[in-house]
Amino acid sequence: MKSSNTRPSRVGKNPFVHKLKFTMAEKIKIGLMSVTVFPVRLLLVSFFMLLAWPFAFAASFGRSNFVVEPQTWWRRLIDLCLRVCMRAMWFCGGFHWIKVKGERAAPSEVPILTVAPHSSYFDAIPVTMTMCSIVTKLESRSIPVWGTLISYIRPVFVFRSDQDSRRKTVEEIKQRAKSGGEWSQIMIFPEGTCTNRSGLILFKPGAFIPGLPVQPVVLRYPNKLDTVTWTWNGPGGFKILWLTLCQPHNAMEIEYLPVYTPSDEERENPALFANNVRKLMAKALDVPLTDLYFDDRDIILSEGPLKIHNFSSLLEFNHLVCRLGVRAMVREKMLTDNVNRVRKLQGERLSLDDFAQFFNLPVTDTLREVYSVFKCEDGGIDVRHFLIALSTVHRPNSMETIEMAFKMYESEETAEVQEQDLATILEIMLGVEEVELSVMFLTMDRGTDTGRLTYDEFCGCLKQYPYFVSDVLGFKDHPRSFCIKRRRHNGQDHDKDA
């Protein structure tokens, strides 16, 4: 798959990975704290959380989550008690003092606070200090004790089982944001997931669609040993809690940046609005911008024998299909149905108009970019290449993608796939160029070398070599590359389509 030249690939350090390394002194300190301070802190944290529960339950009882109600005197008193309980809980957890810079704007002036980077469940500290609303999944309401505390701040719930959830969530945010301060402020983490704070990933547009002023809020955890980061590849939730409670003090800084008022152009273009706010926050944090979406995490965290070797081109492709609107429509049935349609084409090249008609898409600039990525040197596009890439970003390293690819390429008589076709499949799935399969065929115990193999034979090779990519493949820029030219069969070269 050719890389697109329309956008730079700025990934840098993987933001979804967090590895902890301890010195001997730190290990000894953690060991001592584990048998002395940790049990006491855990007990006190649990006590104050349980103490807060009846206040939150009483204040939430009989209150509508959709209608603004006047804050009665007894609810204001409960609100104060809740803040005291929550602050005491964080204090017992080692967050003895929290440095706050800048001033928080009034809800009537700024209805939305955009907070970043989002890296831990300890990011709930500014929420409990302000009692702002948040955007959260509906399932969080069912969490014992904590779910009641979440319900108290009347969050905007996201119904993930509802296909129209994104639109409804945005409409609810817009309604609250335009209430003139009647609703409490909404604190939104626009990254949409936890990262390791090495950079700011792309913001989701939800907070910026209303086109109203926002106040950026940046979070910092200056501790030398980072025990708070909880992301996709790293320590689990309980380990993070244990290590953090074992620290003598956990430093945290909350900085309210100046209110950002969008221009007319930014009001019309939420993506531009979001990106400009992201740049401002990255400058305040002194961290780089990372052009990754929340949906990119599975691609760059891929593992297994078919671990993606170079994810740059697949990330660019994923961003293109997201802009095209295809990524959200990808389902197992959609891929399966298209496999049967593609087989009938038998590798026939499609023009741009035919490609658009095949997937029932309008011809747009984004579609032209996708088409140019897969356009063959002899003209047209092989839809099989597109479907393999689409399946790969939908389910990285999945054997289902390999199985799907074999069905599209295999001979009806022998169920075998030619070597050059398998090379094409692997080049797209691994994000590499000019795959050479000589070593793989040499390692297979076969009576004759026909340059073909079945899906079962390929699966057997993967089981034999857990590190398949590094052990038996050769490709351009491979550390062990020694032969990247395709072998000859019957005196002819099998050149791969571009």
Antiparallel, parallel or unpaired: β 99-101 and 112-116: unpaired
Give me the amino acid identity at 258.
Answer: P
Residue 452: which of 437, 466, 462, 431 has the closest Cα? Answer: 437
Average pLDDT over residues 101-107: 94
User: In the chain, what percentage of residues exceed pLDDT 90?
Assistant: 43
Average pLDDT, whole number, for the chain?
85
Q: What is the pLDDT of residue 194?
A: 93
Give the H or E element holding residue 258: none
Question: How far, in Å, CA of 93 to CA of 99, rounded?
Answer: 16
pLDDT band of 494, cuts 50, 70, 90: very low
Distance between the two ends of the chain, CA-based, in angstroms? 8
pLDDT at 3: 52
H helix or E strand, kind and range, residue 255: strand 253-256
User: What is the pLDDT, as a whole number, of residue 63?
Assistant: 74
Assigned token pair, 201: 């990933």
Can you give the three-state secondary structure of 322-364, one letter per residue? HHHCCHHHCCHHHHHHHHHHHHHHCCCCECHHHHHHHCCCCCC
Task: State pLDDT tens for residues 262-276.
Answer: 999 999 999 999 999
Q: Give the helix/strand (H/E) hosting 489.
A: strand 488-489
Mean pLDDT is highest, among 164-178, 245-259, 443-457, for 245-259
Nearest to 98 by CA among 69, 137, 62, 126: 126
Residue 5 has pLDDT above 90, yes or no: no
Q: Taking the alpha carbons of 440, 441, 446, 451 in that order, is the dihedral positive or negative?
A: positive
Maximum pairwise Cα distance, the chain: 90
Task: Give the model's confidence band at 302: pLDDT under 50 very low, under 70 low, under 90 confident, else very high.
Answer: confident
Stretch among 58-72, 76-90, 137-151 having the lowest mean pLDDT: 58-72
**Percent of the chain whose predicted confidence (pLDDT) is above 70:** 89
Amino acid at the residue 202: L
Q: Which of 218, 192, 193 is nearest to 16 (CA)?
A: 193
d(CA 376, CA 381): 6
Contact partners, residue 225, CB within 8 Å, separation at least 6 = 20, 22, 26, 247
Question: What's the Rg (C-alpha) of the chain?
Answer: 27
Domains of the chain: 24-292 (3.40.1130), 298-493 (no CATH)
Q: How confident is the model at residue 102 (pLDDT cuts 50, 70, 90)?
A: very high
Determine the average pLDDT of the residues in 69-86.
85
- CB under 8 Å to 147, separation ≥6 — which residues? 140, 141
pTM over 0.85: no
C-alpha 399/C-alpha 480 separation (Å) is 25
The pLDDT, as a whole number, for residue 488 is 36
Q: Which of 282, 255, 114 is nearest to 198 (CA)?
A: 282
What are 358's two structure tokens? 């095949």
